[in-house]
């Protein structure tokens, strides 16, 4: 079984490929499947957790899902596959601690470098097109390697940790979770927004609803996955001043353009 959370499609794509290569069933953690996750037992012998890297750590939404999960097979072997734009610090160690706390047996942990989708701070933007397509192309071989390792039940970590991994994961990650994950600054620009409803329908956490005027309004159950920001067809969503002049990215859209 593969459990996957994705914002802009990178982790979803990796999970779909692993599902195809390994013949594993894919369970997407979104909408009711996410909110009701803790109400269901899983008896599978192999569990693969696929998710994006957030600030060199496990996204809080995934921490919550792992904590709530009910894997009732004591012999099950667990794997982590995290996507990242550049590097993932000590994410594997954090995931291993989460597995241990649940009494799960953690085998290998892996990362796949994919296009960056983080745009909410100064200096962070989506990748230039050439780099974006190179990352997507290179990912196919990487996913195949990871599938082979999972097939063999390898227990080694194969993670792009990057420089200053300890500082990023142990100092910046907790700061980021406390201070930089609020959905408060999200706004839809009323001159550009057509009230089409797409951001509201697409949000994996059902965190956006129309206000009395029909324009989107954000609640507090946000995973900061950025699907709303990137999927708006009119680029009408901003996050304070941080997103002025920033690009957007969705894997599906990138693949469609690439084929043309």
> Which chain residues interact with ligand SF4 by CB under 6 A?
7, 183, 188, 193-199, 203-205, 207-208, 216, 218, 222-228, 232, 234, 236-237
Distances (CA, A) of 148 to 18, 22, 103, 142, 152: 10, 9, 25, 10, 6
Site map 74..103 versus ligand FMN, x via CB under 6 A: ---------xxxxxx---------------
Shorter beta-carbon distance to ligand SF4: residue 43 or 194: 194
Question: What is d(CA 147, CA 76) in angstroms, rounded to the nearest whole number?
Answer: 17
Shorter beta-carbon distance to ligand SF4: residue 174 or 211: 211
- Nearest distance in Å: CB 130, ligand SF4: 27
**Interface residue with ligand FMN, options 3, 37, 49, 56 (CB under 6 A):** 56
Q: Which two three-digit tokens encode residue 64?
A: 């919550």
Q: Which residues contact 139 (CB under 8 A, 6 or more apart)?
A: 13, 14, 112, 113, 114
Select the binding partner of residue 98 from ligand FMN, ligand SF4, none (C-beta < 5 to 8 A, by kind): none
Select the binding partner of residue 234 from ligand SF4, ligand FMN, none (C-beta < 5 to 8 A, by kind): ligand SF4
- Of 86, 131, 80, nearest to 110 by C-alpha is 80
Select the binding partner of residue 198 from ligand FMN, ligand SF4, none (C-beta < 5 to 8 A, by kind): ligand SF4
- Nearest distance in Å: CB 32, ligand SF4: 15
- Find the distance separating the first CA and the last CA of the chain, reported in whole Å: 34
Within 13 Å, how many C-alpha atoms sit on residue 2's CB side?
A: 26
Could you count the other beta carbons within 10 Å of the beta carbon of residue 28? Answer: 18
Q: Is 224 exposed, middle or buried (0-12, 13-18, 19+ CB in 10 A)?
A: buried
Q: Which two three-digit tokens encode residue 124?
A: 């962070």
Site for ligand FMN in 208-247 (CB under 6 A): 224-226
- Nearest distance in Å: CB 239, ligand SF4: 9
Shorter beta-carbon distance to ligand FMN: residue 24 or 77: 24
Site for ligand FMN in 36-55 (CB under 6 A): 52-55
User: Where do contacts with ligand FMN occur on this chain (CB under 6 A)?
Assistant: 6-12, 52-56, 83-88, 114-118, 224-226
């Amino acid at each position: 079984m593969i459990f996957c959370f994705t914002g802009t499609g990178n982790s979803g794509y990796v999970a779909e490929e692993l599902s195809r290569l390994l013949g594993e069933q894919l369970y997407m953690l979104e909408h009711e499947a996410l909110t009701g996750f803790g109400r269901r037992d899983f008896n599978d012998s192999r569990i693969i957790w696929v998710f994006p890297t957030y600030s060199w750590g496990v996204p809080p939404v995934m921490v919550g899902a792992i904590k709530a999960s009910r894997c009732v097979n004591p012999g099950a072997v667990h794997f982590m596959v995290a996507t990242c734009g550049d590097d993932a610090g000590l994410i594997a160690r954090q995931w291993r601690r989460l597995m241990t706390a649940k009494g799960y047996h953690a085998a290998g942990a892996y990362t796949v470098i994919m296009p960056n989708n983080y745009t909410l701070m100064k200096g962070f933007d989506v990748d230039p097109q050439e780099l974006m397509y190179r990352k997507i192309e290179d990912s196919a071989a990487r996913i195949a390697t990871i599938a082979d390792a999972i097939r063999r039940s390898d227990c080694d970590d194969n993670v792009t940790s990057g420089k200053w991994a300890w500082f990023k994961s142990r100092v910046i990650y907790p700061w980021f979770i406390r201070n930089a994950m609020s959905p408060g600054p999200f706004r839809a620009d009323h001159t550009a927004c057509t009230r089409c409803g797409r951001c509201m329908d697409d949000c994996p956490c059902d965190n956006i609803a129309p206000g009395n005027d029909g324009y989107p309004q954000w609640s507090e159950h946000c995973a900061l996955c950025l699907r709303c920001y990137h999927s708006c067809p009119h680029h009408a969503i901003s996050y304070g001043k941080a997103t002025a002049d920033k690009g957007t990215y969705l894997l599906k859209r990138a693949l469609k353009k690439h084929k043309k």
